Structure 1
Amino acid sequence: MMVTSRVPGFYKLSPEKRLELVASAAQLNDEEKQVLTGEQRFPLRIADAMIENVVGIMPIPLGIATNFKINGIDRLIPMATEEPSVVAAASNAARMSYELGGFFTSLSGSIMRGQIQVVELPDPYGAMARLYENKQAILDRCNAKDPTLVSLGGGAVDVEVHVMEQAKRPMLVLHLLVDTRDAMGANAVNTMAEAVAPFIEELTAGRVVLRIISNLADRRLVRARAVFSREQLGGDKIVENILLAYELAECDPYRAATHNKGIMNGISAVVLATGNDTRAVEAGAHAYAAKSGRYRSLTRWERNREGNLVGTIELPMAVGIVGGATKSHPTARLALKLMNIQSAAELAGSIAAVGLAQNLAALRALADEGIQKGHMALHARNLAIMAGANEEQIELVVQQAIREGDVRYDRIRELTQEWQRRHADGKGNRAQG
């Protein structure tokens, strides 16, 4: 892996030169480079095995975020997203923390919850007691379904039983706590829950309905911390404005929703690039943001004694590096290789670091010039493509729109048509000459 993720001017390089730099750092072979560029097509047979009714492939741009130092290790971060400014914003924010140590992360564990719902109970609290009395028998039945996971140090490790007093009819839910190690764990947890359901019915004299994983992975929390340079942020006024913006997100769910959406711009892009379940991570994150009874920020922002900005983030992070698309999707496998990831804990920490950086970038833009200036300049490229600009014309049209300070679609379409008319006139004049 490369010595540093600090690559000044990376965004100025051509896609081909960026690929060569990244490929050299991660020691990719020619076949792997062709997978990233799309020269080696994603096989339709693999797509057909992943989901139903397949008719084709939907490509998503894959970018590389630079400047990330995470727990002392420099990492290149692959991000799959269609939204402009996300990769650039994460890279820029990471740069502001690099010289101050970068990001530091921790993971609470790799425990996932399986929920088994039991209804039609004559004695819910008596049933709860009987389940606890037979805890080891429940765990043994579960672990018999996945000896491989057990051999790796994982498996079902505990149970929790909750009588649902708010429900209209008597019911309880048994939480099966499973250490899924380096897997996200949905298949393992669901298999165990289904296998033990008849035994649960026998113990409770009730009827089992649901047997499924919970995506509120509150026993699999990832935390990340970083210090961002006051000078690089733009001074004390910007730091103060960032803190004020954060305070609004803490007390106002309307602001918190957009605040956390920005965090997920970064998180979901890395989750998708590595073949993990974006919907599971997003659901868990938003549920966790509302755990106090009010929807709040997933991040916390403070000012330290030196006047620098200290950011922290905490959220559930159910991701893995084995199983599912992380292994079956060739680009997802390469994304993990590019990051030099060896465990699910490393992946979770890296994803949280990106979420924190993405939030800082958005807050800084809002606290300074507003979100639109930088975002719309990047979005202008998409508008130029929509307007029909060819590869040679895109940059010319975008630069003209930026100079004018007008990146509305109608103006970009006018500029595109002007360049195309000039090109057509030039060809006509040459033909007549």
Structure 2
Amino acid sequence: MKFYELSRTERIQQLVAQGQLDTDSAAYLLTKPALTDDLLAAITENDLGQFVLPLAVANHFLIDGQSYFVPLVTEEPSVVAAASNGAQRIAAGGGFQTLQVQHQLQAQVILTGVADFADLQIRVDQAAAQIQTVAAAAHPSIVRRGGGLREVQLVRQKNDWASLNLWIDPQAAFGANLANTIAEAVAAYLQVQVLQGSEQVLAAILSNSGARMQVRVQGRVPYNQLATAAQSGAAVAAQIVKLNQFAQADRDRASTENKGVLNGVFAATLATGNDLRAVSAAVTAQLQAQAQLTLATWVDQPEQQCLQGQVNLPLPIGRVGGAINSLPAAKISLALLGQPTVTGLMSIIASVGLANNLAALRSLVTTGIQAGHMRLQAANLAIQAGAQGKEIAALTTALNQQRQVDLALAQTLLQQIRQKKEH
């Protein structure tokens, strides 16, 4: 049986047998324990309970020569199916390759009342060594781990504003609290020792631009992985490229194509306990700043009989800290991935985005997006119709045998299933 055809218990047992999960993690997933009241109170405010989302895995991922089952948290079954589908096609072409990855967080000390920027630049340059000392003293543990302040940039802004940008290596963490601590310490030093006259510190805080938390991943798809019964692989590749080029010229289409990338990116981000809002803010900043409208690009390579895709993403994430260390399921997700480095995790998450993008584009230029989408949505429609327990599977099967489905049809079929059961 294929992996997606197994029961939940069978999937967990297979992952244990393959060494992907340990027995403690398997027991946790099988028993589905709730978060304790103490943990809830510690990680949120005014807690009422839990809002549960499914934890799934996408398979067939080959990334930088390593095979992965990638954990995804999403209520949308087509996201998981598309990720596995796209990954399998890219694996046939050698898998995903990381072309570039960097992991530095920016903090800003925002200044106002700057009348002479050139003179301020001289004073900042003269204080460079002391700024490094202040930053190290503010968070000595990050220095001991090999991280800390790496670069200081004074940037002229509009009016009488300026920004002292601090580029920080947070090591395995995302580093929000680290960046804020260093920024506030440097701001206090500047206000007393460097700024003059009307110059004032307006604020000191991290930036969520993700400008140096970037990853670029590439994947190739052989033509034979794109072909359908009605279209050759070369024809499908050409259509995918045209659709991607249209998105690069049309904001309305680009927004939807980018959403397809983020379907996978967000699901993997959530599964590993990372800050979805930070990733969203960074992606927004990148799209606003760059000339290109899409996160992913596809080019045809007929001489190599393949389609080549690339995704370039800001991913302000971490491997430790915050909810990553607190949520049991997040720790299980990272264990499932083999405890990757933070840059390795960035490559994994970006690869999921590119896989989802490929699956969506191929569907759009071949069978259309709706057929597969509605087949996977049949279970949700069954639940909306009132199916319970084993009725859900029975009604889902019945719905998938219909050409067109809606809630009214689902309710009618459910009544028929119940009437047969009574007799």
TM-score range, shorter chain: over 0.9
* Letter matched to residue 299 of structure 2: E
Q: Deviations over 1:110-161 (max 9, x none)?
A: 2110011111233334223322331221121011122221112110011111
What pairs up with 1:48-87 in 2 under 5 angstroms?
48-87=41-80
CA distance in 2, matches of 1:12, 1:120: 65
CA distance in 1, matches of 2:125, 2:382: 63
CA distance in 2, matches of 1:409, 1:341: 43
Checking the alignment, whether the CA contact within 8 Å between 2:101 and 2:343 is kept in structure 1 is no
CA distance in 2, matches of 1:413, 1:161: 64
- Is it true that 1:113 corresponds to 2:111 in the alignment? no
* Letter matched to residue 294 of structure 2: S
Q: Deviations over 1:167-216 (max 9, x none)?
A: xx411111110011111111110111111111222312322222111111
CA distance in 2, matches of 1:180, 1:47: 27
- Is it true that 1:162 corresponds to 2:155 in the alignment? yes
- Is it true that 1:95 corresponds to 2:88 in the alignment? yes
**Of 118, 123, 126, which aligns to 1:130?**
123
Using a 3 Å threshold, how does the CA distance of structure 1 residues 37 and 59 change in structure 2: closer, same or farther? farther
Checking the alignment, whether the CA contact within 8 Å between 1:125 and 1:163 is kept in structure 2 is no
- Give the share of equivalent positions with the same residue, in percent: 35
Gapped regions of structure 2 (runs ≥ 5): 228-232
Q: Deviations over 1:279-335 (max 9, x none)?
A: 11122122212322x561111101112231101111111111111111111110110
Q: Deviations over 1:17-74 (max 9, x none)?
A: 0011112334644432232234332222112101101111111101111000111011
Q: What residue is the counterpart of 1:300 in the other structure?
A: 297
* Letter matched to residue 332 of structure 1: A
**Of 37, 41, 46, which aligns to 2:34?**
41
Checking the alignment, whether the CA contact within 8 Å between 1:48 and 1:54 is kept in structure 2 is yes
Q: Deviations over 1:318-355 (max 9, x none)?
A: 11111111111111011000011331011001111111
Gapped regions of structure 1 (runs ≥ 5): 1-7, 427-433
CA distance in 2, matches of 1:44, 1:289: 40
CA distance in 2, matches of 1:144, 1:211: 17
- Is it true that 1:191 corresponds to 2:181 in the alignment? yes
Q: How far apart are residue 220 of structure 1 and its match? A: 2.0
Deviates more, 1:32-41 or 1:192-201: 32-41
Q: Deviations over 1:377-428 (max 9, x none)?
A: 11111111111112322222222222221222222122223322333x32xx
CA distance in 2, matches of 1:152, 1:342: 18
Q: How far apart are residue 229 of structure 1 and its match? A: 2.0
Checking the alignment, whether the CA contact within 8 Å between 2:216 and 2:311 is kept in structure 1 is yes
- Is it true that 1:286 corresponds to 2:284 in the alignment? yes
Return the TM-score normalized by structure 2: 0.94
Q: Deviations over 1:73-106 (max 9, x none)?
A: 1111000111121111111111112132111114
* Letter matched to residue 306 of structure 1: Q
Q: What residue is the counterpart of 2:271 in the other structure?
A: 273
Give the paired residue count.
Answer: 414
CA distance in 2, matches of 1:108, 1:389: 47
Checking the alignment, whether the CA contact within 8 Å between 1:128 and 1:162 is kept in structure 2 is no
**Of 5, 9, 18, which aligns to 1:25?**
18
What pairs up with 1:290-369 in 2 under 5 angstroms?
290-292=288-290, 294=291, 296-304=293-301, 305-369=303-367
Q: What residue is the counterpart of 1:230 in the other structure?
A: 223
Using a 3 Å threshold, how does the CA distance of structure 1 residues 38 and 48 change in structure 2: closer, same or farther? farther
* Letter matched to residue 100 of structure 1: G
- Is it true that 1:178 corresponds to 2:159 in the alignment? no
> What is the SS of the residue equivalent to 1:361?
helix
Checking the alignment, whether the CA contact within 8 Å between 1:155 and 1:178 is kept in structure 2 is yes
Return the TM-score normalized by structure 1: 0.92
CA distance in 1, matches of 2:186, 2:180: 10
* Letter matched to residue 391 of structure 1: G
RMSD: 1.6
Q: What residue is the counterpart of 2:195 in the other structure?
A: 204
